[in-house]
Amino acid sequence: MNEERKVSKCNVHHNYSGMSKPGTDCPNCWSLYLEKNPIQQYAGEDGIVGRQIRLNQVKLEIADGKDYARLLFFGDLHYGHPQCDLKKAKGYLDWALKNNVYVICMGDLLECGLTTSIGDSVYQQDLNPQEQLEEVIELLKPLADKGLIIGIHAGNHENRITKATSIDVTKIMAKILGVKYLGYACWNMLWVGSQKYSLYSTHGSGGSRFKHTKLKTVMDLAQWIDADMIAMGHLHSLATEAVIKQRVDFRNRQVKNNDCKIILTGSFLEWDKSYAQMMNMPITKLGAPTIKLMANKDNIVVSV
C-alpha cells in the first residue's frame, strides 16, 4: 500500500493544501501547488505533457540586503560560431551565479549550422550541433543546479534541427538541465516580494537593420500584448524603450499612465567576419540586459 503523502499548508491560506489549482494570486499557494504537481512545471496552464508552457509562474527571491530581484536576459550566443565571444558570455553567467541573479535564456544559444541552412555556417562552425548542445548544457548547468534559470526559449537556429528532423534540441536541453521549456514565446508571471510583474518574452523575428527600427519591431507587439515588459532576442541589439499608455482608473477616479518596458536582449556574436558584416549591417554592442524588479513598489529598472 502506498504511504499517504504528507501535504504542508500555505502559511497565509491555511486551508489550502496544494493539491488543486489555487483560486488566488498568492505566491505561497502557487509555489505549493507547483511543488505538489511537478508536471505543471513543464505542461503549464495547458496541462498537456510535452507542450510548452503558456504561462510561466515564478517567485523570485529577493537578494540579501536588497529590496529587489534581478533577471538577466541571456541569448543569441551562437555557440559554435567562430565569432562567438565566449569569454564575454561566460563573464555574464559567472556574475549571475555569484550574485544569485535569475536568468531567462532567449534562444539561439546554439549555431546549429546544417547543410540545409541558409549561408555557409555549416562549414564555418567550430563544433557540430551535438557538441554545441553538450557544451552549452555544461555552461548553463551551475546556474540550473542553483535554481537560477527560470526558462529556456527556442530560437530560429535551434529550429533548423526541428525543421529538418522534428527533434527539438531546446526541449532536450531544458529536460537535461531540469528547467522550464518556454518554446519560441511565452508569458511570464513574476512575483517579487509584495509585487507581481508580467513579462512577455520571445526569441522574435525580423530583419531590421537599425536600432530604432528594431525597437519598433518590439513596440508593435505592445498593440496586442498588454504586459509590463516585452523582451525580444534575434535582432542582435542592446536597447530599451517604453510604450506609455493612459487609462482611466475607475476605482480611484483618476487618469493614470501605464508603461510597458521594451527590451532588445543583445547577442554575443562579433561583427567582424560575421553575416552582419557581409550584409553591411551596423556594428552593435555585445552583451545582455538585466532588470531590477522592486519588491515593495511597482518599479522596473532596465540596464543595457
With a cut of 80, say whether residue 44 has pLDDT above it: no
- What confidence score (pLDDT) does residue 272 get? 87
Q: Is 45 contained in some domain?
A: no
Looking at the structure of the chain, the number of domains it has is 2
Domain hosting residue 269, numbered range: 53-303
Tell whether 138 and 63 lie within a shared domain. yes
- What confidence score (pLDDT) does residue 16 get? 76
Mean pLDDT over all residues of the chain?
A: 88
With a cut of 50, say whether residue 76 has pLDDT above it: yes
**Residues 6 or more apart whose Cβ sits within 8 Å of residue 220:** none
The pairing of strands 195-202 and 185-192 is antiparallel
Q: What is the pLDDT of residues 200-243, one digit of tens each?
A: 999 999 989 999 999 999 999 999 999 999 999 999 999 999 99
Predicted confidence band of residue 263 (pLDDT cuts 50, 70, 90): very high
User: Would you tell me how many other CB atoms lie within 10 Å of the CB of residue 164?
Assistant: 13
CATH number at residue 257: 3.60.21
Tell whether 25 and 129 lie within a shared domain. no
Tell whether 165 and 281 lie within a shared domain. yes
Tell whether 1 and 77 lie within a shared domain. no
Tell whether 210 and 260 lie within a shared domain. yes
Q: What is the pLDDT of residues 150-180, one digit of tens each?
A: 999 999 999 999 999 999 999 999 999 999 9
Task: Please give the grid coordinates belonging to residue 223.
Answer: 498593440
Tell whether 152 and 179 lie within a shared domain. yes
Tell whether 61 and 198 lie within a shared domain. yes
With a cut of 60, say whether residue 2 has pLDDT above it: no
Q: Is 259 contained in some domain?
A: yes
Select the more confidently predicted residue: 51 or 169: 169
**Residues 6 or more apart whose Cβ sits within 8 Å of residue 152:** 104, 105, 109, 170, 173, 174, 177, 179, 180, 181, 182
With a cut of 90, say whether residue 291 has pLDDT above it: yes
Report the C-alpha gap between 37 and 150 in whole angstroms: 17
With a cut of 80, say whether residue 301 has pLDDT above it: yes
Report the C-alpha gap between 275 and 94 in whole angstroms: 28
Q: Is 298 contained in some domain?
A: yes
Q: Is 272 contained in some domain?
A: yes
With a cut of 90, say whether residue 117 has pLDDT above it: no
Q: What is the pLDDT of residues 52-73, one digit of tens each?
A: 788 999 999 998 889 999 999 9
Q: Is 236 contained in some domain?
A: yes
- What confidence score (pLDDT) does residue 43 get? 45
Predicted confidence band of residue 31 (pLDDT cuts 50, 70, 90): confident
Tell whether 93 and 220 lie within a shared domain. yes
Q: Is 161 contained in some domain?
A: yes
Q: Is 78 contained in some domain?
A: yes
Tell whether 25 and 140 lie within a shared domain. no
**Residues 6 or more apart whose Cβ sits within 8 Å of residue 160:** 112, 113, 114, 116, 117
Length of the chain: 304
- What confidence score (pLDDT) does residue 9 get? 64
Tell whether 92 and 117 lie within a shared domain. yes
C-beta pairs of 194-198 under 8 Å, 24+ apart in sequence: 194/295, 194/296, 195/293, 195/294, 195/295, 195/296, 195/297, 195/298, 196/25, 196/27, 197/228, 197/229, 197/293, 197/300, 198/227, 198/228, 198/229
Report the C-alpha gap between 65 and 215 in whole angstroms: 34
Tell whether 30 and 86 lie within a shared domain. no
Predicted confidence band of residue 18 (pLDDT cuts 50, 70, 90): confident
- What confidence score (pLDDT) does residue 46 get? 45
Q: Is 48 contained in some domain?
A: no
The pTM is what? Answer: 0.83
Select the more confidently predicted residue: 39 or 219: 219
Tell whether 105 and 221 lie within a shared domain. yes
Report the C-alpha gap between 179 and 239 in whole angstroms: 27
With a cut of 80, say whether residue 50 has pLDDT above it: no
